Amino acid sequence: MKHSLKTNIFKVLSVLPDRLGYAVYHFLQNIGGKLTLEDKIRSTNDSYQTIVRILHDNNVSIEGTKIAELGSGWVPIFPYQLILDGKARQVDTYDINEHYSTKEVAKLNSYYSSKYTVETDSKSKYPLLKNIFYYPKTDICNGDLKDIDLIVSRFVLEHVPPGEIARMHQFMLANLKSGSHILHLISPSDHRAYQDSSLSLQDFLKYSEAEWNQIQTKFDYHNRLRLPQYLALFQNEFEITFFEHSTINMESESFKKFSKLKIHDDFNNFTDEELMAGNINILLKKK
């Protein structure tokens, strides 16, 4: 779908009452999704393996830990991987929306039943694997983090306003036990380019803040923070024990598209490397 059509659809939905707007949004997402459950599991496994690598290289174990996930998404594949593959003790997953469906969770249980003994919680609204606790329509700042060993987010922070990111991390700082870790996988590129190959991954950097806010909606919000801005949000409060990001390939089609952009003056203080940094992974530790 071309980005302009998708933007116009979201603009129509954004003026509807929240309940109706989100209901139509869910309907469109469900009928428009082309990925099978197996596709989604393979995709999630890519980020799971990235998380395992980063934690292993920094002497942080998943096994036996209590983990909080920031942003539950549409299907609880990642919490299942943490419990069944990573042997985590418990996963609490928080989301300000409610995207799970009983049908999709049942499919997930059937898939994993061929490889593992899957025990579900019959008292839960959704038949989730035991030791996974879903908190939809819940800000993580209303959660209980005192026994959490690790907080993980996957491609969530880019969709959160900077002030909210700062507020959440102040809460985490105040409530996590010493030595706990936070791992963020961040995708700071223009997500419209994933569906519309005519766009540069940095296309949204050509707009002023006011112009960009006229384009995006609550259904596709992106904060446009660059690498140094993410680091600045964390480094004064937490120990940044590891970070990495993708680098520029001067021969790539992506760089050629970027080179044609007239970047807005708001981003003049950043280098090309900082503007193009993608797949940012940051591991924090409470001092």
Residue 107: the pLDDT is: 95
Residue 243: the pLDDT is: 95
Question: What are the mean pLDDT values of the chain's consecutive 10-residue runs (287 residues total)?
Answer: 71 75 68 79 96 98 98 96 98 95 94 93 89 97 97 97 96 96 97 90 97 90 96 91 92 94 96 94 96
Residue 63: the pLDDT is: 98
At the topology level of CATH, where does 37-285 sit?
A: Rossmann fold (3.40.50)
**What residue ranges do the domains of the chain occupy?**
1-34, 37-285
- Bridge-based pairing of strands 181-186 and 278-285 is antiparallel
Residue 155: the pLDDT is: 97
Residue 172: the pLDDT is: 97
Task: Write out the DSSP string of 211-268.
Answer: HHHHH--TTS------HHHHHHHHTTTSEEEEEEEE---TTSHHHHHHHT----GGGT
CA distances 188 to 5, 10, 177, 267, Å, are: 22, 20, 29, 14
State the virtual CA torsion across 45, 48, 49, 55 in degrees, nearest 10. -170
Task: Write out the DSSP string of 32-49.
Answer: H----HHHHHHHHHHHHH
Q: 13: helix, coil or strand?
A: helix
Residue 19: the pLDDT is: 74
Task: Write out the DSSP string of 85-115.
Answer: TS--SEEEEEESS----HHHHHHHHHHHHTT
Sign of torsion, CA 162 163 168 169? positive
Cβ 64 vs Cβ 104: under 8 Å? no
- The whole model's pTM is what? 0.91
Element (H, E) at 182: strand 181-186
